[in-house]
A and B are shown apart, each in its own frame.
Chain A
Amino acid sequence: MALLSVRNVAKSFGKTQVLRDISLEVAEGEFLTILGESGSGKTTLLRIVAGFEQATSGELWMDGERLDALPPYKRRVNTVFQHYALFPHMTIEANVGYGLHIAGVPKAETTTRVEEALAMIKMTAHAKKKPSKISGGQQQRVALARALVNRPKLLLLDEPLSALDANLRRQMQIELKALQREVGIAFVFITHDQEEAMVMSDRIALLRGGNLEQIAAPREIYNRPATAYVAQFIGHTNLLRGRVEKGIAHCGSMSWPVSLADGPCAFSVRPENIRVATSPANGAVGFEGKLLNQAFHGATELLRVETSDKSVFSVRVAGMGTQGLANTLKLEFSPQDAIPVRDAEAT
């Protein structure tokens, strides 16, 4: 059974609609990432779940109970804020113990649980310090402990890693994921970083302009993107636009059989699914292009190839050696690697 269920939630600020008809579910112990660019409505959605904003329409349910009727302080949901929002006038210890203290947990138990939480984030030595005396990464961990010590059913994280530098960030991604598995609490994690989303999530919900584009596991969202936007936002892709006529897709000079209805169509072909053509007539879709650029990435190389109709393809190949620029390359991809996607621009 779903722990949290968001049903047809919409939100407007005045005349601006920031969320349109969002429905999604979060399972017990799941790590769900809400991914989107700034302005996609992801933070608003989180604030609605936390209770800082009221949805204009729609419902929230948690454990068979209406969540949106409760004020934020009665929801068994805790939040890790983007800039941590630690209380500057309290020690680290008091920050972490705040929720338990308010809830009236007996003093001895509060002390033990705060100690455990500080040990978990390796901050025991800093217990008596004020938040301004510790580093950003440490503040981030304190914010996490302050939320988790209350044993919420659901933890919301609003871009908690965005203020950290790249190395610390990668390390925290792994630690956070491990921690989530250990405590078994469902996480709803917000980020604009698609790599972060891929690394950490059980499922990704991709928002765009207040609409839910797709919600799926990282592999599925990468391999079977539902829309052209998803295909381009998650990883690199080549987008082919054309028409389907009598079961044949025609995109530029290429054509291949598909089982789609007639009409305009769009396909996503990942750069790693395009290869240098070897033997012809193996059912692959072949094309030719002029090499514009070759970027060496170590294990792979990224080629940029321009076809005769001036469309540019990205092609990822494993060690092919230096090629002369402006050389003509024969390339191909398998029809099943051309994933049909919904495309707002094509219609």
Chain B
Amino acid sequence: MELLVSTGAHASRKLRWLSVHSVAVYAFLYLPIVTLIVYSFNGAGVGGFPPRNLTLNWYRILWQDDPIWVSVQNSLIVAASAVGIALGFGIPAALALDRADFPGKAIFRRLVLLPLILPGIITGLSILMLVNVAQVKLSLWTIILGHGTALISVATTEVFAGLQKLDRAQEEASLDLGANYWQTFWRITLPNLKLPIIGAALLIFTLSMDEIAVSFFLIGRDNTLPLEIWGRLRRGITPEINAISTVIFVFSLVAIVLWYRMRMPAEIPAEMPAENSVSYL
């Protein structure tokens, strides 16, 4: 009896610790974001607690702040182009890794995946040196080049994972039914890779949008959004920065929700249950 009571008390103490621990972790993760959003409505500038004179004024200022919107536009151009470059090279690389057998395949794999672990400083600096040697002027183009090439590895890993899960018998069935290799790729392989490709695109887009290290070395006269914000921080922070951050946060949230909505109906009743669905949890 005594034993039972003591284990019960022990268990509830453990549970309490677990709750405290969880709350602490979540607070650490999300409190900064909450603070950021709350202070974007703070009429009294960035400092002071609690927030006072709640206002939408910073959003109005943001709305009229052309340099910010130019930098947002630049970032979107860079991110979209990076997606194009990374997928354009990453999909064939993934196909080669999955299907082809060629001498030096192991080296090829490592070379393709290396940028994934390479610090952005190294990537940025080395592209800067290359660009200098080639005597190309720094501009958005050099940033696009930097982001695009650095993110090929992301596209490759994502698409490669998708290819590994693909049922090869489907492609054989297509060949068997009279479609040649090219037709089979367009009609069977690619549609089945839709989700990994969209996933890779979203990931690359996001990574490019908030990239600083590589951009920092390759920036010309046109700022990307993170560099614009960085530049302003040095001159003193205003809640306008909080406002633009909040806008980005809301957009990201909507994008994530849309992405989940899109993949859910496609994947729950998928061909192979158990072992595959686990990886999405």
Using a CB–CB cutoff of 8 Å, the interface residues on chain A facing chain B are 50-52, 71-74, 77-79, 81-83, 85-89, 98-99, 102-103, 132-133, 146-147, 150
CB neighbours of B270 from chain A (8 A): 88, 132
Contact with A72, one of B170, B172, B183 (Cβ below 8 angstroms): B172
Which one of B178, B183, B191, B192 has the greatest number of beta carbons of chain A within 10 Å?
B178
- What CA separation (Å) do A147 and B177 show in the bound complex? 7
Provide the residues of chain A in CB contact with B66, threshold 8 Å: none
- Complex CA gap A83/B172 in Å reads 12
CB pair A71–B172 under 8 Å, yes or no, is no
> A99, B178: Cβ atoms under 8 Å?
yes
- Among the listed A52, A86, A99, A103, which residue makes an inter-chain contact with B172, where contact means beta carbons less than 8 Å apart? A52
Interface members, chain B 201-232 (any A CB < 8 Å): none
The interface bits of chain B over 150-186 (1 if a CB of A lies within 8 angstroms of the residue's CB, else 0) are 0000000000000000010110111111111001000
A52-B172, A81-B173, A132-B269 known; A89+B191 contact, CB < 8 A: yes
Q: Which residues of the other chain, A, contact B183 by a CB distance below 8 angstroms?
A: 102
**B37 interfacial by beta-carbon distance below 8 Å:** no
Q: Which residue of A lies closest to B272 (CB)?
A: A83
Mostly helix, strand, loop or mixed at chain B's interface?
Answer: helix
- Using known A-B contacts A132-B269, A132-B270, A132-B271, determine if residue A85 contacts B179 with beta carbons closer than 8 Å: no
User: Among residues 225 to 273 in chain B, which have CB atoms less than 8 Å away from a CB atom of chain A?
Assistant: 269-271
Q: Does B76 contact A (CB under 8 A)?
A: no
- Could you tell me if B178 and A150 are in contact, using CB atoms closer than 8 angstroms? yes
Query: Contact between A73 and B175 (Cβ–Cβ < 8 Å)?
Result: yes
Q: 30 A-B pairs, CB-CB below 8 angstroms?
A: A50-B176, A71-B180, A72-B172, A72-B175, A73-B178, A73-B179, A73-B180, A78-B177, A79-B172, A81-B172, A81-B173, A82-B169, A83-B167, A83-B169, A85-B169, A85-B172, A85-B173, A87-B188, A88-B170, A88-B192, A89-B194, A102-B178, A102-B179, A103-B178, A132-B269, A132-B270, A132-B271, A146-B173, A146-B177, A150-B177
How far in angstroms is the closest Cβ of chain A from B61? 48
Interface residues of B in 128-164 (CB under 8 A from A): none
When the two chains form their complex, are residues A133 and B177 in contact, meaning their CB atoms are under 8 A apart? no
Residues of A with C-beta under 8 A to B173: 79, 81, 85-87, 146
CA–CA, A149 to B101, complex, Å? 35
Determine whether the beta carbon of B175 is less than 8 Å from that of A71: yes
- The tally of CB-CB contacts under 8 A between chains A and B is 69
Q: Which residues of B contact A132 (CB under 8 A)?
A: 269-271
CA distance A223 to B103 in the complex (A): 54
Q: How far is the CB of A154 from chain B (nearest CB, A)?
A: 12
Question: Contact partner of B176 among A73, A83, A88, A89, CB < 8 A?
Answer: A73
List 5 tightest A-B contacts by C-beta distance, closest first. Answer: A85-B169, A99-B177, A85-B173, A72-B175, A102-B179
The smallest beta-carbon distance between B109 and chain A, in angstroms, is 22
Alpha-carbon distance between A329 and B164 when the two chains are bound, in angstroms: 62
Q: Which residues of A contact B187 (CB under 8 A)?
A: 98
Residue from A81, A87, A98, A133 having most chain B Cβ neighbours under 10 A: A87
Contacting residues, chain B, for A51 (C-beta < 8 A): 175-176
- In the complex, the chain B residue whose C-beta lies closest to that of A47 is B172
Q: Please state if A85 and B170 are interface contacts (CB–CB under 8 Å).
A: yes
Q: Tell me if B169 and A81 are in contact (CB < 8 A).
A: yes
Considering the complex, give the chain A residue whose CB is closest to the CB of B188: A87
A47 to B170, CA, bound (A): 14
Residue of B177, B183, B271 ringed by the most chain A CB atoms within 10 A: B177
Could you say which of B174, B177, B271 contacts A88, with CB atoms under 8 Å apart?
B271
Closest to B168 in A: A85
Given known contacts A77-B176, A87-B173, what 13 new A-B pairs fall within 8 Å (CB)? A50-B176, A51-B176, A71-B180, A72-B175, A73-B178, A79-B173, A79-B176, A81-B173, A85-B169, A89-B191, A102-B179, A103-B178, A150-B177
**Nearest Cβ on chain A to B192's Cβ, whole angstroms:** 6
Q: How far is the CB of A1 from chain B (nearest CB, A)?
A: 25
Q: Which B residue's beta carbon lies closest to that of A103?
A: B178
